[in-house]
Structure 1
Amino acid sequence: MRKSHKKGIQIIGAVLTLLLAVYAALHFMVKVKIEEMLKGEVAKSFEVQYKDFGMNLILGNVSLSALQVKSKDTSLWINPLKINRLEIKGINFFELYQSGNFKINSVLFDAVKGDFAKQDSVSILQSSTKDFKKVISIKNLILKNSYLTQVDPKNDSVLVKFENLNVQLEDFKLDSTSLASKVPIAYKAYHLNSGPIYVNLSPFEKLEIDSLYTDQNLVIQGFHLVSKYDKVALQSKLTKERDFIDLQIPVVEIDDFQCKGYKDSSLLSIRAIELNELYLEMYRNKLLPDDYELKELLYKKIENLPFKIDIRKVDIKKGEIAYTELVNELSKAGKIYFTALNSTIENISNLNGDPIIFKNTANLMGVSPITLDWTFRENSNKNLMLVKGTVMNFNTKAINSFMMSNLRAKSSGTIQELYFTFSGNGYSSTGDMKMKYDDFKFQVLKKDRSGVNKVLTFIGNIFTNDGSNTNDSGYRFGTIETERDNTKSFFNYIWKNVSDGLVSTLTGNGEKE
């Protein structure tokens, strides 16, 4: 009994020793194979350096610390990519041996620092993996505490910069199908957290974000799109008219943000966006040469995007917009502004031909309630637009600072009610106006704005009805007929229609046609 027991222990010991020896041999072989791959196949395109290499064959874990990767193609990234720690856990070696596919529980890139060059990274990835037939499946792909920058190699200017970026992709998958898509990866869910973000939008504008994170929604804090130069400095940089812009949004909430492949394109899909306490200031120096570049209407810009977009709804709450325009060196710039702005935009999409609908309410010059609604692709007609608006209880003296500077005129009187509707396309429009007003008068100023041009004022008031010649309900009516200047913005188009209606209402017979 003792001999057999002793013999059994010896057999077990021998088996365990053999297993340990086999494991040690396999561990050594796999480790050598990986190191050879890093120094061989990988080294054809990249120079790889690291401090420590660890591996657990049983658990399927591999780790590298103090990793530096330098591309031999300097168009990919400029400086060596530094990774504090790379951890790969749960490699299914049986799956890898059997099919050649990678099935991994998690991959962690910790504290990545890299400067990437400006280029079409999707095309490069697709061209470099055109013969890729394997499948890479990762339960959790994690990028942690990373600082990434995209640089224009022509002048070393920063194009995009992320600080303290954290990303987690669940059920990440890369295969020949996803690589053929415009978005070459697939994932089930994502979690995102980032510190300050900088985006170079143009030679004149930049976007700065304080932070963003995902909770139930994607939340952006401290959204700031602003000109790179102040109002004075910007003018010396310009050769033609361009707005100084300062757009600030304390909090942006995005519900169900998705970016994925769609047929032969890519799709940005969002269920809803909420913009709280939006503030927008714009300034234009009209003394500069005109910008004669053709301006597409918004729906055309949406239709012509190089990708698909589908935003179901945008809500703007408690906003404020101010626009200032300088037209004469001898006078102050005129300012017009809107407070208590609340807007709803529906169906910002190029997936279908459904109407794009804007509904806006605000207080003109901080006091007079107005509404302005417009619809593109009205009644499924992709070229038709419909605009409706109202103005209530507006003392015209409130806008004199803008009129004196920009129109060389000032007015008095109260617009009790104003209603207008017009429809058209990108070339022309027609409509009508109805207005109730009291004691309307205006004065034409001298060219230097120093006083009133009495002759022009007298002649103008002869042809302008002061509001006394109305129908039984106190209204006067006018018509709208105008053509669009396609070198001007959509809002210029709206103003041309409204001003045409005002002239018709104030100077016409006032009767409804």
Structure 2
Amino acid sequence: MTKPLKITLITLCALLVLSIVGYFVANAIVSSKVENFLKTELPENLSVDYESLDVSIWSGNVLMVQPKILNKGSHTSKTNIEVELDTILVDGFGLWSYLINDKINVKTVQLRSPKLIYNHNSAIPKDEYKSSSKEELKQDIKVDRFNIQDAEIIIKDVETDSLLFQAERLTINVMAVAIDNASVKKRIPFNYDGYNISYSDLFYSMGEYENLKIASANITQDEAVFKEMKIYTKYSKQKFDNMIAIERDHFDVSITSLVLEGQKFGYEKDSIFYFKSPKITLENPEMHIYRNKLIADDLTRKKLYSRMLRELKFDLTLSAINLKNATIVYSEKVNADMGAGQLSFTKMNADIKNISNTYGESEKTTLDIDAIFMVQTPLKVKWEFVVNNVNDAFVFRVDLGKLPAADLNAFSQPNLKVNLEGELLQTYATVSGDANTSRVDMKANYEDFKVEILDGEGEKKNTILSAIANLFIAKNSDRASDGFREGNKEGIERDHTKSIFNFLWLSIKSGLASVLTGDGKINK
């Protein structure tokens, strides 16, 4: 071996040994700095413990095993947030980019099996949860993929130890995350290219009386699918009635599937929140509503839907909403000594357009509905209004098919103490109104219509009152099978303390009274 070759080999070996030693020394230095930062540089109310920490500057990996993160409030000594994880992995840290370009580039940040417990304390000022965005970032940050895998989130109320929120098997992927000095000052403090989120067994306490449950969800930037949704009153009807001082609906809503297509959200000019979707589909929604009218009325002024949309504090654009095979059952208790009267709408399909406060002044919101009313009667409804019309003008059209009057007794007997006989063969009604008054035009083809007024207990027929009432009612619309009796009423005043549905009922009831009492005309 020549002397120059020998010197070269010795030099290469020395460099290799130095590189290996330097690698382990550098790893040890970086690990020490990370450990020192976690021990001394974090805020006093934040602590991080872990089983082990492994740093590889060669591959740009940092692996923390079984970390436990605790956050205690400055106003109380109790733990606000507790997070336990299997591992935190930072993979593919770009050392060259960090040293040369002063930028942090990471391929993957992964949080495996985190369990987060948040103890909500209403006594803690909201400012304590806010982070300052005035400080500038020292480096821009880019993460190719941020991943949370198989997480569980639990939120409890400190005062009552009751569950406020829970989600299991939560997985989140956010792609191409970028954070810089411009983004951190925005309401959404980072930019991203795409995301997907999935979870199961979500529970959310919506307030004092209602809960929300979702069996599973899968959300991407292109579509959001929620399965087996349920919104329901927490308490039985009897307990609920004993709890409330003014009337409030007791309800149970279930939806087999809710699908939002192409949903987009964010802040317009970093100011006004917006949400939009070109199409939303609800499969098999079922709603059971119960109201006890023996409890004191809620006398707050109610807004019509057009005004509700117009006065939203954010921009909403839902181009189309489709209800497929829906069911609505409404029960109302009026008399203490009788059960609740009931109205039902089944096999309902609805095509709803332009639920929005972002369209121009001429764009109409429309609802086209087909359903079965009560037992067997086909019902068609077309409802339209313009959100930007400050008078809240609307038109509500009804096409009601063959209705045995006795089918209405499930509602009229317990609530009105009236039984109905006969048959409505075909009924048309148009209600034109605004925020204050309405006009109704109605025509009906019916046979052998009679009313039976019941006694005070609602059990037996009051013969005298029934006979008097039937004196004022035209028994048949016309002797001809295709004859219609018409009726109309205008200047029907709205009760502003009641909903739009009460207003529609008052209008239709006035039209029906006009038809039956014979102050309309016969159209052959």
TM-score > 0.5, shorter chain as reference: yes
2:457 counterpart of 1:453: no
Q: Which residue of 1 aligns with 2:227?
A: 221
In structure 1, which of residues 120, 131, 136 is the aligned counterpart of residue 135 of structure 2? Answer: 131
* Shift of residue 171, structure 1, vs aligned partner: 1.5
Distance 1:110 1:20 in 2: 31
User: Partner residue of 1:313?
Assistant: 320
Deviates more, 1:354-363 or 1:459-468: 459-468
Match among 340, 351, 355 for residue 348 of structure 1: 355
| Runs of 4+ residues deviating >4 angstroms | 74-77, 117-126, 378-382, 469-473
1:144 counterpart = 2:144? no
Q: How does 1:38-437 map to 2 (within 5 A)?
A: 38-73=38-73, 78-98=80-100, 100-118=102-120, 127-133=131-137, 134-214=139-219, 217-263=223-269, 264-353=271-360, 354-377=363-386, 383-437=392-446
Structure 1 residue 349, shift from structure 2 partner = 2.0
**Is the Cα contact below 8 Å between 1:184 and 1:261 reproduced in 2?**
no
1:312 deviates by 2.0
Contact map agreement 2:391 2:435 (CA 8 A) in 1:
no
Greater CA drift, 192-201 or 488-497: 488-497
CA distance in 2, matches of 1:212, 1:194: 6
**Residue of structure 2 equivalent to 1:492:** 502
**Distance apart, 1:243 and its partner CA:** 1.6
Shift of 1:342: 0.6
What is the alpha-carbon distance in structure 2 between the residues aligned to residue 390 and residue 468 of structure 1?
A: 17
Match of 1:509 among 489, 502, 519: 519
Identity of aligned residues (%): 26
Deviation at 1:114, TM superposition (A): 1.7
Check 1:126–1:14 CA distance in 2 against 1; reply closer, same or farther (3 A cut): same
8 Å CA contact retained: 1:126, 1:180 = no
Q: Structure 2 CA distance, aligned partners of 1:206 and 1:150?
A: 14
Unpaired runs of at least 5, structure 2 = none
Distance 1:208 1:378, change over 3 A: closer
Q: Is the 8 A contact 1:167 1:190 kept in 2?
A: yes
Deviation at 1:159, TM superposition (A): 1.9
Distance across 2 between alignment mates of 1:265 and 1:235: 39
- 1:408 and 1:37 map into 2 onto residues whose CA distance is 77
Q: Does the aligned pair in 1 maintain the 2:440–2:508 contact within 8 Å? A: no
SS in 1 for 2:402: strand
Letter of the structure 1 residue corresponding to residue 50 of structure 2: Y
2:485–2:521 CA contact under 8 A, matched in 1: yes
Deviations 1:300-335, CA, capped at 9 Å, x for gaps: 333333433222222111111111111112222211
Deviation string 1:213-244 (CA, Å, 9 cap, x unpaired) is: 24773221221111111222222222221221
**What's the TM-score, normalizing by structure 2?**
0.90
Task: Give, as a single letter, the amino acid of the residue that structure 1 aligns with 2:169.
Answer: N
Equivalent pairs counted in the alignment come to: 513
The CA distance in 2 between the partners of 1:77 and 1:186, in whole Å, is 31
TM-score normalised to structure 1 length: 0.92
Cα 1:397/1:108, change in 2 over 3 Å: same
Matched to 2:272, the amino acid is S
Q: Does the 8 Å contact 1:295/1:487 carry over to 2?
A: yes
- How far apart are residue 103 of structure 1 and its match? 2.0
Distance 2:383 2:125 in 1: 39
Match of 1:486, SS state, is coil
Q: What is the identity, as a one-letter code, of the residue corresponding to 1:323?
A: Y
Change (3 A) 1:190 1:372: same
- Contact preservation (8 Å) 1:183, 1:266: no
Tell me the CA shift for residue 293 of structure 1. Answer: 2.3
Question: Does the CA-based 8 Å contact 1:378-1:385 persist in structure 2?
Answer: no
Displacement of 1:99 in angstroms is 5.0
The Cα of 1:397 is off from its aligned counterpart by 0.9
Q: Which residue identity lines up with residue 143 of structure 2 in the other structure?
A: I
- The alpha carbon displacement at 1:20 in A equals 2.7
Native 8 Å contact 1:77 1:114 kept in 2: no
Question: What amino acid is the match of 2:499?
Answer: S
CA RMSD of aligned residues (A): 2.7
Residue aligned with 2:86, SS:
strand
Opposite residue 309 of structure 1, the aligned amino acid is L
Question: For 1:184, what is the secondary structure of its paired residue?
Answer: coil
Q: Deviation of residue 122 (structure 1)?
A: 10
Secondary structure of the equivalent of 1:80? strand
Query: Can you list the C-alpha shifts for 1:26-59, whole angstroms capped at 9, x where unaligned?
Result: 3222222222221222244411111110111122
Q: C-alpha displacement at 1:96, in angstroms? A: 2.9
SS of alignment partner, residue 112 of structure 2:
strand
Counterpart among 428, 449, 471 of residue 462 in structure 1: 471
Residues of 1 paired with 2:35 and 2:104: CA distance? 18
Q: Name stretches of at least 5 consecutive residues in structure 1 with no aligned partner.
A: none
Give the deviation of 1:398 after TM superposition: 0.8
Structure 1 distance, partners of 2:100, 2:128, is: 29
